[in-house]
Structure 1
């Protein structure tokens, strides 16, 4: 249900209303007893000061209770609201007894101070101020619920944008034209290699289209895709860029195109030749895929950083894990978290 363009959880609202009705039932009963059995002087300033102080304490009790519960309970369920409500009530009674004793027992120097009676009186005040407990708790709870909803919507939008950018990057015309140029060269010089090239080319684009919007793929599928991608690079650059893969256990999952992005960056930003090829090492250490290569930077490249940003944000948004990029004077390393299961 939406009111003023805001999503409202009916169940949560009903729970708050029930708690308010329950608390106010006790409040009405207490006020009735006060009316029948007590004589209250409306012009007694001390009573007004006491009510103000206790109202302030009730508000502070809810805020403190919210902060305490929020550190312990990271969920956003209605049970969390109930916990805050109960804790703030108990905290108010504890602090209220102390304030009551200070006001009556010390400041007013009351000689007939009875702790049991004053404790019951403080409990009565707590019921009278139940609106503050319930409404303040509800306000804090619903504000966090709304914030969490907005953050979730923003996260989903960011994921969609990142995936769209990544798909556009993988399907960019530059990559297509380069491979068509390679294909044209094979037609003239090595026609026997055309069939294998087309198979690899089809596998790469099929992988882009079929897995580009998936959250995770199996590591073994990503490694198989990387082989097809490197076959295309070999047709284009010869043995200039090579991969040494020491990963034996391929259990686990990874974000699609993660390895290809890292390899692509290594090829794009480093010089190499047939005599001095660039070796890109793949290994598995402590549940992270490690991609490492020596640095031999080209003189000038235009890099948008889209690939690295995509990896970092996707792992943070989806799994709260970090992709680690490390660069030294002669080596560049990327460590990608391996997700054990989905």
Structure 2
């Protein structure tokens, strides 16, 4: 969706707007001598060569405008950026001499009664050319800096998208390994729950393959995904693990990045089951006034040292990285161990 701010920022970058701004700037600049000059004195006769001076002024203005764009478009990129300062200085000196000499030719050819004054002409031409040169160089460098910043920003956004895609792709296989282990356990038990479990797995895969590619998904879809995963785990463990789930969502849902909450639940089932007496997992999710509060608690055995496999901890590591990339200062994640409980508490400001 294009916002009003984006529209305001985009109009001046269009070609027609840039041309219009340049035309206005040049007309204003070269009109200043006429706008600021004093009113003609009726006591003095008008200059008979006024129209000739105006023609010379207009031609000189077009030459300076040409020099402005020649410097910005050719001299700076071809010479200055390549550190060919001697050639650059030579061209400037030639252009300066050409302007001085053209004024002399104009006076000699069209205003023969007026004497050509070299020193005032050199001073006037030098400061005029210096002003145009400074403006042209500043405009070119600012424009190149803005283009470089824009390119860097685009690269950063692409890198961010790529990194988030990689992080998300690492979460999905890790989760699928656990779910497939559940299916194997049900098949060995020849459980009647295998068919409904496969249906749930199919819906989970559909969510991961299609909806998880979106930048954001409705919060209720993410919670449905969580609930399906929890149901599959409960079918696997049965009465061996007590699972308490509370999900309190508003009628008007929020949006959240997909696959953001599942690693916490996955981690609880991975490390909160097994050789743990009175295994219990508590999951609570509440969303009110754009604030999501998500808590996952599981019992753990401090005396039991788990032998971690190569994929252990991938989920939590990646979700921390994703939170820092996507929410920065708009989230708070606390992970602690106390009194035999492993507690994950996440506060997330939703938009």
The TM tier, using the shorter chain, reads 0.5 to 0.7
Residue deviations 1:75-122 (CA, integer Å, cap 9, x gap): xxxxxxxxxxxxxxxxxxxxxxxxxxxxxxxxxxxxxxxxxxxxxxxx
Q: For 2:17 and 2:173, how far apart are their aligned partners in 1?
A: 46
Q: Using a 3 Å threshold, how does the CA distance of structure 1 residues 176 and 329 change in structure 2: closer, same or farther?
A: closer
Q: For 1:13 and 1:284, how far apart are their aligned partners in 2?
A: 47
Q: Using a 3 Å threshold, how does the CA distance of structure 1 residues 238 and 184 change in structure 2: closer, same or farther?
A: same
Task: Note if 1:148 corresponds to 2:160.
Answer: no
Task: Note if 1:163 corresponds to 2:165.
Answer: yes
Q: For 1:243 and 1:156, how far apart are their aligned partners in 2?
A: 40
TM superposition score normalised by structure 1: 0.56
Contact kept in structure 2, 1:288 and 1:335, CA below 8 Å: yes
Contact kept in structure 1, 2:280 and 2:298, CA below 8 Å: no
Task: Note if 1:336 corresponds to 2:335.
Answer: no
Q: Using a 3 Å threshold, how does the CA distance of structure 1 residues 297 and 15 change in structure 2: closer, same or farther?
A: farther
Contact kept in structure 2, 1:24 and 1:130, CA below 8 Å: no
Task: Note if 1:229 corresponds to 2:241.
Answer: no
2:197 aligns with: 197
Q: Using a 3 Å threshold, how does the CA distance of structure 1 residues 126 and 253 change in structure 2: closer, same or farther?
A: farther
Q: Using a 3 Å threshold, how does the CA distance of structure 1 residues 294 and 171 change in structure 2: closer, same or farther?
A: closer
Q: Using a 3 Å threshold, how does the CA distance of structure 1 residues 206 and 150 change in structure 2: closer, same or farther?
A: same
**Bigger Rg, structure 1 or 2:** 2
Q: Using a 3 Å threshold, how does the CA distance of structure 1 residues 19 and 185 change in structure 2: closer, same or farther?
A: farther
Contact kept in structure 2, 1:20 and 1:131, CA below 8 Å: no
1:136 aligns with: 138
Out of 279, 282, 304, the position equivalent to 2:282 is: 279
Query: Structure 1: 5+ residue runs without aligned partners?
Result: 1-7, 38-124
Q: For 1:19 and 1:140, how far apart are their aligned partners in 2?
A: 19
Contact kept in structure 2, 1:218 and 1:252, CA below 8 Å: yes
**Cα RMSD after superposing both structures:** 3.8
Deviation at 1:280, TM superposition (A): 1.9
Q: Using a 3 Å threshold, how does the CA distance of structure 1 residues 155 and 141 change in structure 2: closer, same or farther?
A: same
Q: Using a 3 Å threshold, how does the CA distance of structure 1 residues 19 and 237 change in structure 2: closer, same or farther?
A: farther
1:244 aligns with: 245
Deviation at 1:263, TM superposition (A): 1.5
Secondary structure at 2:324's aligned position in 1? Answer: helix
Q: Using a 3 Å threshold, how does the CA distance of structure 1 residues 18 and 268 change in structure 2: closer, same or farther?
A: farther
1:211 aligns with: 211
Q: Using a 3 Å threshold, how does the CA distance of structure 1 residues 163 and 206 change in structure 2: closer, same or farther?
A: same
**Paired residue total:** 235
Contact kept in structure 2, 1:244 and 1:280, CA below 8 Å: yes
Secondary structure at 2:261's aligned position in 1? Answer: helix
1:257 aligns with: 259
